Structures are given as C-alpha cells and as structure tokens.
Amino acid sequence: MSTATADIRVHTEAGVTTITFDRVDKKNSITTAMYSAMADALAAAEADPAVRVVVFQGDVAIFSAGNDIGDFLQQPPASQDSPVFRFLRGLAGFTKPVIAAVCGPAVGIGTTMLFHCDLVYAGDNAAFSMPFVNLGLCPEAASSLLVPQMLGYHRAAEALMLGEPFMAEAALEVGLVNRVLPPTECNAYAQAQARKLAAKPLSSLIETKRLMKKGQQTQVLAVMAEEGQSFGRMLREPAAREAFSAFMEKRRPDFSAV
C-alpha cells in the first residue's frame, strides 16, 4: 500500500511502513504539511497491528535540510498541538521499532529525530548538524537531554553550541549510528534490517523497547515541552529575527547587538 502527500511518501508492505522524504529539489526541507503527514503516518502505523516496523529514509544525496525556513516563518509552531510537536511526540512515544537510513546532510530535526529511532544506518556521506544556536534558537526534540546522554557533555556542547556538522564515522563512534555504508546501499540495508525485525514476535519487540526506555519517557516529553516553550519565545526575539533575515537575504548575520 502506498500513499503520496505533501512531499512525504508512505509505503506499507510486509509489516514495514516506510516514510520517505520526497522533496529533493528543496533538499528535503520539511514543511508544516510534511510534519502533519508524518504524524498521521506514525499514528496509523501505531494503530495498525499488521505494521511492525517503521523506516524513515531520504535520498542518497540528502536526508533533510531541516525546517523549510520560508514555510516555518509563515507558519511557526504556535502551540504544543502544532504538526511539528505532534510528529515529535508521536515519534518519541512510538512503541514499535523505528529505523532511519540517513545519507547526505541531516540538519536540525533531521538529526534530532534520530535520537528517538532504535536503529540508524548512515551513508558514508552523512553529515549531522544541530545549528539551533546559529539561528538564535535553542535545542528541540528533547535533544538538550538526549544529546548529552549519548555524546557526553563536552561533545554535546560542541555539537549544540557551535552547530557544526559531524560526519558518519564520528556518529558511529558515539553510538548515534549503528553502521556506515556506501550511500547507494544504505536504504536497502535499512529495509533488510526492517524485514528481519518484522519477522520477530511484535509483543517481544514492543516489550523490549518499553523496558529499555523505562523511566525515560516522561522526562523526554517534559523536556520536549519545555524546549518547545523556549523555542517559541526565542523565535520572537531579536537574535532569531536577525538570523532568519540574514538567511533570507543571503548575508552573514550580525549578532553584535543581541
């Protein structure tokens, strides 16, 4: 079964739902409509007993450039019920296994969403970055909690404060990525791993994931909500306005006054 909506392709076959970023001409930058489509796809996969695994994938050259800035400025997340937060809560609370296949740049939420996936496979061209500070903003998707837990504080500070990309081998070293592959093999490998999981007893997969995440879920959702409040406030402040104006005007931002 396949559906196509809002630059997101959703295909379900043999117990695996694959959600594909399909906006390559815009570097798979994510719009509000795309967040809504992904949130709906996750909800449908959670409710469907025939679905055992979800796979996120992009193109061999680009996973996602993060938020579509133009769309983001026109439709900023106004509340915790906004599509982006609905997607993040759906992903964080998803009870079945989630796999991501990441090739090329994974910017902002393109990286932070991976901390909520169970298995991550990367092309050797993958580049992960979380440049929220550079946009006058703060971390999201509970990354202020999960990135230090995985990377350690100092590496997390480097990733979140400098916002510079780190490559696939570095992601493998810190445990964000399970395996690095040639980009042309990455999506197929993730699908093969998904089929292995889909052949296993779903009840055991769900219970194993629940036990591994036990005690963390409430904290993740609380941090995600706090980040969302800070993010919304900072979005209206001078630093973010300067960052986004500079981006749209294709110039270097000047934060000397903020």
User: pLDDT by residue (tens digit) across 138-161?
Assistant: 999 999 999 999 999 999 999 999
User: Whole-angstrom Cα distance, residue 89 to residue 221?
Assistant: 7
pLDDT at 3 over 60: no
- Residue 219 one-letter amino acid: Q
User: pLDDT by residue (tens digit) across 163-178?
Assistant: 999 999 999 999 999 9
Tell me the C-alpha to C-alpha distance, in Å, between residue 4 and each of 8, 9, 18, 19. Answer: 6, 5, 12, 10
Q: What pLDDT was estimated at residue 18?
A: 98
Q: What pLDDT was estimated at residue 223?
A: 97
Q: What pLDDT was estimated at residue 2?
A: 56
Q: Are 121 and 193 contacting, i.e. CB atoms less than 8 angstroms apart? A: yes
User: Whole-angstrom Cα distance, residue 74 to residue 69?
Assistant: 9
Split at pLDDT 50, 70, 90, the class of 248 is confident
pLDDT at 78 over 80: no
User: pLDDT by residue (tens digit) across 19-74?
Assistant: 999 999 999 999 999 999 999 999 999 999 999 999 999 999 999 999 998 888 88
Reported CATH class of domain 2-182+202-210: alpha beta
Q: Bridge-partner residues for 67, per DSSP?
A: 30
Split at pLDDT 50, 70, 90, the class of 80 is confident
User: pLDDT by residue (tens digit) across 87-104?
Assistant: 999 999 999 999 999 999
Tell me the C-alpha to C-alpha distance, in Å, between residue 37 and each of 16, 42, 78, 90, 141. Answer: 17, 9, 18, 12, 18
What's the mean pLDDT when you consider all of the chain? Answer: 95
Q: What pLDDT was estimated at residue 121?
A: 98
pLDDT over 90 percentage in the chain: 88
Q: How many C-beta atoms lie closer than 10 Å to residue 14's C-beta? A: 12
User: Whole-angstrom Cα distance, residue 226 to residue 228?
Assistant: 5
Q: pTM for the full model? A: 0.95
Q: What pLDDT was estimated at residue 72?
A: 85
User: Whole-angstrom Cα distance, residue 2 to residue 13?
Assistant: 9
| H-only helix segments in the chain | 32-47, 69-74, 83-92, 109-112, 143-151, 153-157, 168-174, 183-198, 202-212, 217-235, 238-249
Split at pLDDT 50, 70, 90, the class of 76 is confident
User: By three-state DSSP, how is residue 223 classified?
Assistant: helix
